[in-house]
Structure 1
Amino acid sequence: MRILGCSDICSIFTRKKKINTASESQLARCLSTLDLTALGIGSTLGVGVYVLAGSVSRDTAGPAVIISFAIAALASMIAGLCYAEFGARVPRAGSAYVYSYVTMGEFVAFLIGWTLILEYVIGSASVVRGLSTYVDALFNNSMRNAFKSAAHIDISHLSSYPDFFAFGVTILFSAALAFGAKESSLANNIFTVANLSVVIFVVIAGAFKADPANWNTHPPCTDEDCKQGKGGFAPYGIAGIISGAATCFYGFIGFDCVATTGEEARNPQKSIPIAIVASLSVVFLAYFGVSVVLTMVLPYYEQNPDAPFPHLFDKIGWEWAKWLVSLGAICGLCSSLLGAMYPLPRVIYAMASDGLIFKWMGKVNPRFHTPLMGTLSAGLLTGVLAAIFELNQLVNMMSIGTLLAYSIVAACVLILRYEESEVSEKKNDNTALTASSVLKLIINANKTTHATKLSARLVTSLVFLYFILCVCFTSLVARFTHDINNLEMWIIVPMIFLIISLVTVLFCIYLQPVSGTRLTFSVPLVPFLPALSILINVYLMMMLDIMTWVRFGVWMIVGLLIYFFYGVRHSDISVRKISMKSIRLDGRKNVDSPKFT
């Protein structure tokens, strides 16, 4: 057995998947642009619309929560545009996993795919547990009491009882997804329409009781004790608006499930970009509308952070509206559950088809045209987690997976936009690399108009350097916010240096020649919009607590063991190379062997 050297390992890590967009998929192409838009809205506009506006307005931003939502929507839209370009460029199931496999190589692709599996499993489990809790609350926690008396669990870090309702709902939804994408899409459309109808009802009904004077109220407090801000439109100041935007950003997570439908959309090059932009726009309008109504009907400091709508209707004397809002919340949770569970088997299918995880998980059922075993096994894992775990400490793991995927997709957009052109100026690739030639290459002194292999490699290096600088800059901002606000020079000086470095790297990328590939949809203002997306996502990752990173690290160690002991040898690229090598060796043996008569 030959020992692998550094060059061999690097070759394995960077081997890239070739996409043949003309090939037919085994999955059924049955989803229209409307289906994809409804899927994006349903997976994004979940229970957050019933909780987030109230909690952020009371504790973080005040009535300025509408600005926080606008900032979060802008950040999400930038990430959505990056996904839209890749959805049009690489119309295959697997979302960020496939995108990174095409551009970054196999190792990064596996890391992203494994991260996405974690994100969707935890996201689905948390949604179904939330659905169970919400339904149980309507019936005075009768399910919880029954489950506790039947099978009490006394183990730390686990739920105090097995939630059989959550497990059953998960299996039911998994079966619905396994037995047909079109049928599950129809159910999602119904849930989404009901959810949006209730949101519209809340906005219209609340408008009759709205009073703009509530944007200028002041909470009862003293100079020594004023925990609820100083009143007015922005009682917590600019810092509160930015902090609120970081929280509101998580209310837009979920649109990326649209990008996983590349092999089931009828016209993915057009449908995916339209669906992503349309769903994010609708979700922002919903968040904006409910935020305005909540803060105009009641002062921000009187909001209920856990159930703002029922509290609102209690205050205005509309008891009957409670049940209507509850119905909308249940529909929203069901829609979120479908949206969270839908992309999970698609990512498993994509990774299993490529041989990076077990092949049987990606086998497509000939009758239902879905990855049946992958869907059911993912549903079983999600159901078990939802039944036995309290997921409060694990919700952040969903966020870290999403933000990492967003960052990788934005980086892939940059790298592909500057990839080697089909008509490239090959003479520049043979230039001797001296300090002078490297400087000329960095500033494109030769005014090269077509991207070369050398310029493409330079952009890849610059993107990696930009990512590292973002980590350094955002970690300082997250760790020393108080010192930065006080203008402490010991932290201001390195901050200025990092800002100058970030701008310089971006400017160098901007000067490089771009690829001439024509796209049906492309991100505008490259490299600046994808770079801004990377900066925002890395900052939000730096805001997560240390235990989230520890749990994430444990999950990644498990994944790396699977990759090194299974994926490296069973990867389709590796298998094809071995097969081609065997064919060549057999051919040589047949030519060289003596002929007997």
Structure 2
Amino acid sequence: MDFALTKLIVLYKMKWKLRDLYKAFSRRKVVDNTEESTLARVLSTLDLTALGIGSTLGVGAYILAGSVAKKHAGPAVVISFAIAAVASMFAGLCYAEFGARVPRAGSAYIYSYVTIGEFVAFLMGWTLILEYVIGSASVVRALSTYVDVLFNDSMKNFFESVMPINVDSLSSYPDFFALGVTLIFSVALAFGAKESSMVNNIFTLVNLSVVLFVIIAGSLKADINNWKTEPSCTETDCENGEGGFMPYGISGIITGAAACFYGFIGFDCVATTGEEAKNPQRSIPIAIVASLTIVFLAYFGVSVVLTTVLPYYEQNPEAPFPHIFDFIGWEWAKWFVTIGAISGLCASLLGSMFPLPRVIYAMASDGLVFKWMGNINSRFQTPIMGTLSAGLLTGILATIFELDPLVKMMSICTLLTYSIVASCVLILRYEESEAYEKKGDHNPRTFVFIIKQLISANKLNHSTKLTAQIVTVLVCCYILLCICTAILLSMYTTEIAAGKVAFIVLLVIFVIGLVITLSFIYFQPVSGRKLAFSVPFVPFLPGFSILINIYLMMTLDKDTWILFAIWIAIGLGVYFLYGMWHSHIRNQKKWSTSNDKGADFSHIT
């Protein structure tokens, strides 16, 4: 009897602990758009557009087009860029809606905090920190390497002879130039958003001018017949494809599109400026769409010039611009390309470093990371400690690490945040209407009623708590189906291409499941909330964005997933040991319950 009673008490306590844990995980942030920000609102739509272009149109414009043309798509690289641009625009539209809906610093972190809950929000913020740190470190390392090449690797040779590093996965020498550049840029960012955005505008203008020069100058030597040439083949192999506009076929275009997609990563930094934009609900959507459009036009023009001036199989995948100018005899033009590459890398570095302290500031303001990291300097009105500490971490990584394998981690972080933002758009679009919320939830929870509601047979005119819960469950089911579909496509591509019935049938089942799930979501009543900007074709456009992002994540290698898991494990330690207990929402609830003398809620976290 005593044993049974003890067991019941233990189970009761476990129940309350699990309930408390769930409540902590699902705590949501309520954003008051009328509340004044402590950051300075100084950024215009032009500043945000330049920031988006600068962080996206970096070294990819000088390398990616030639590499994809030679290895994957041939002249059809223009189609690959178009597909990648459309996929990126889908993600960009989701960011644009949230930028208008939640104009706060923090990007995907604040979006998931408002929509899903504190635990997922912390993981998003922690993932964003990794994305921007690695992105900044890889860019500054590329800048250092590019400058060093101009001086015949003098820095590399000197430091390797004086301070060699003989450790696997680390750099062969400490790159103090990269450390110095990172610290200089960190100090510049700490001086103020307006000042640093002016520098970024200059870098971006130079970068765009050089890209425009390349397009105009190259078009003077363009020959459309280079889209019809055929490479020489052996009796057994055609290493460079079959020639023509699509030498590698449709599969080559799709593979090229996956590679080109990474050339559009970076626009999401615009969404972190919600508290520094003069009119964020208008500026952020315009800046995201405008920057992605301009970047696509730049990539498209560069791709056309490269493949018409020189056949795709004669491209230099590592330095295509200098190669074509050597080919046409314009050696002086290489200096313009050099200036553009350095300006593009500097703009990318600013674009990568700019959002990092904003994410840290947002998390520190919510109590999820150490408070001192979010302190705002009264003179410059920037999170100066967060900026400098983030810059120091970035500089250390750029100094001692070989970042090639870590660049893939940046991709997995970016694609994960894209997927979460698109999921949040779906959940919030079908949230409970404010008018119905005041009336109370009177929908029955019977099996028949729920099944009928999947096809809107109950004729509900407003979104209710039940319909919002149905959509949340359907979104989770859709994500699981996307994961299954992506695993099938990434691991069994050869079998599907060979026409094996079992794999094709399984793929058809998954695709039908995806379409049916999105259709069920479509039948649910939407929230009546008016927005400054709304994603069109919901739920199909965000749903397609989720599928593309998850597929690209599944194409990454095992080592990338292991490194990402280690970073997440460190983050979980920070959350459970600090963030969970210092959360401002938790402290607000404790304060309100301590002042409620009519009830005892001491067991609630």
State if a TM-score over 0.5 links the two structures. Answer: yes
Q: Does 1:375 align with 2:387?
A: yes
Are residue 112 (structure 1) and residue 121 (structure 2) matched?
A: no
Write the deviation string for residues 513-558 of structure 1: whole angstroms up to 9, x where unpaired.
0000000000000001000100000000011011100000000000
Q: CA deviation at 1:391?
A: 0.3
Find 2:510's aligned residue among 489, 495, 498.
498
Equivalent-residue separation in structure 2 for 1:70 and 1:482 (angstroms): 25
Tell me the secondary structure at the aligned position of residue 596 of structure 2. helix
The match for 2:433 among 387, 406, 421 is 421
Q: Which residue of 2 aligns with 1:184?
A: 196
Structure 1 window deviating more from structure 2 (435-444 vs 32-41): it is: 435-444
Q: Show the counterpart of 2:587.
A: 575
What CA distance in whole angstroms lies between the structure 1 residues aligned with 2:38 and 2:441?
41
Aligned amino acid, residue 52 of structure 2: G
Q: What letter matches 1:264 in structure 2?
A: E
Which one of 229, 247, 256 corresponds to residue 259 of structure 2? 247
CA distance in 1, matches of 2:408, 2:152: 29
Q: Measure, in 2, the Cα distance between the counterparts of 1:581 and 1:352.
A: 24
Matched, 1:475 2:487: yes
Between Structure 1 and Structure 2, how many residues are aligned? Answer: 588
Distance 1:471 1:208, change over 3 A: same
Which deviations, in whole Å up to 9, do the C-alpha atoms of 1:393-451 show, x marking residues without a partner?
10000000000000000000001100000122888943433331121121110221110
Asked whether the 8 Å contact 2:437–2:465 carries over to 1, the reply is: no
What's the % identity of the aligned pairs? Answer: 67
From 32, 42, 50, give the equivalent of 1:20: 32
* Aligned residue identity for 2:505: V
Among 321, 327, 333, which residue is 1:309 paired with?
Answer: 321
Q: What's the counterpart of residue 270 of structure 1?
A: 282
- Residue in 2 aligned with 1:293? 305
- Look up the match of 1:352: 364
User: What is the alpha-carbon distance in structure 2 between the residues aligned to residue 432 and residue 455 of structure 1?
Assistant: 11
The amino acid that maps onto 2:399 is A
For residues 374 and 586 of structure 1, the distance between their equivalents in structure 2, rounded to whole angstroms, comes to 42
Q: Which of residues 77, 84, 100 is equivalent to 1:72?
A: 84
> 1:271 and 1:517 mapped to 2: Cα distance?
20
More displaced, 401-410 or 7-16? 7-16
User: Is the 1:426–1:452 contact (alpha carbons within 8 Å) kept by the matching residues of 2?
Assistant: no
Question: 1:457-476 maps to which residues of 2 (within 5 A)?
Answer: 457-476=469-488
Secondary structure, aligned partner of 1:319: coil
Task: Report if aligned partners of 1:131, 1:330 keep a CA contact under 8 Å in 2.
Answer: yes
Whole-Å separation in 2 of the counterparts to 1:585 and 1:177: 48
**Partners of 1:421 and 1:435 in 2: CA distance:** 23
In the other structure, the counterpart of 2:3 is: none
Which residue identity is paired with 1:519?
Answer: L
Deviation at 1:581, TM superposition (A): 2.2
Provide the rounded CA distance (Å) in 2 between the counterparts of 1:586 and 1:420: 30
Deviations 1:555-591 (A, max 9, x none): 0000001001111100000111112222335999xxx
Give the equivalent residue in structure 2 for 1:591: none
Unaligned segments of structure 1, at least 5 residues: 589-597
Query: Does structure 2 retain, via aligned residues, the 8 Å contact 1:425–1:451?
Result: no
User: Which residue does 1:144 correspond to in 2?
Assistant: 156
Shift of 1:487: 1.2
Which of 312, 315, 330 is the matching residue for 1:318? 330
Matches within 5 A, 1:184-263: 184-263=196-275
TM-score (norm 1): 0.97
Find the counterpart in structure 1 of residue 596 from structure 2: 584
Other-structure match for 1:594:
none
The answer to whether the aligner puts 1:164 opposite 2:176 as a matched pair is yes
1:218-275 Cα deviation digits (max 9, x unpaired): 1111241211111110100000000000000000000000000000000000000000
Query: Structure 2: how far apart are the matches of 1:194 and 1:554?
Result: 39
How far apart, CA to CA, are the structure 1 residues paired with 2:561 and 2:543? 23
Q: Is the 8 A contact 1:215 1:233 kept in 2?
A: yes
Matched residue of 2:434: which SS?
A: coil
| In structure 1, distance between residues paired with 2:126 and 2:387 | 16
Q: Please, which runs of 5 or more residues in structure 2 have no aligned partner? A: 1-9, 601-605
1:331 and 2:343 matched:
yes
Aligned residue for 2:534?
522
Match of 2:5 in 1: none
- Letter aligned with residue 328 of structure 2: I
Q: Per-residue CA shift, 1:286-305, capped at 9, x if unaligned? A: 00000000000000000000
Letter in 2 for 1:57: A
Q: Residues 94 and 225 from structure 1, CA distance in 2 versus in 1: closer, same or farther, beyond 3 angstroms? A: same
1:48 pairs with one of 41, 57, 60: 60
2: CA distance, partners of 1:108 / 1:557? 14
Rounded to whole Å, the distance in 1 between the matches of 2:67 and 2:518 is: 37
Q: State whether residues 473 and 498 of structure 1, in contact with CA within 8 Å, keep that contact through their aligned partners in structure 2.
A: yes
Name the residue aligned to 2:558.
546
- Give the counterpart letter for 2:275 in structure 1: E
CA contact (8 A) 1:52 1:248 kept: yes
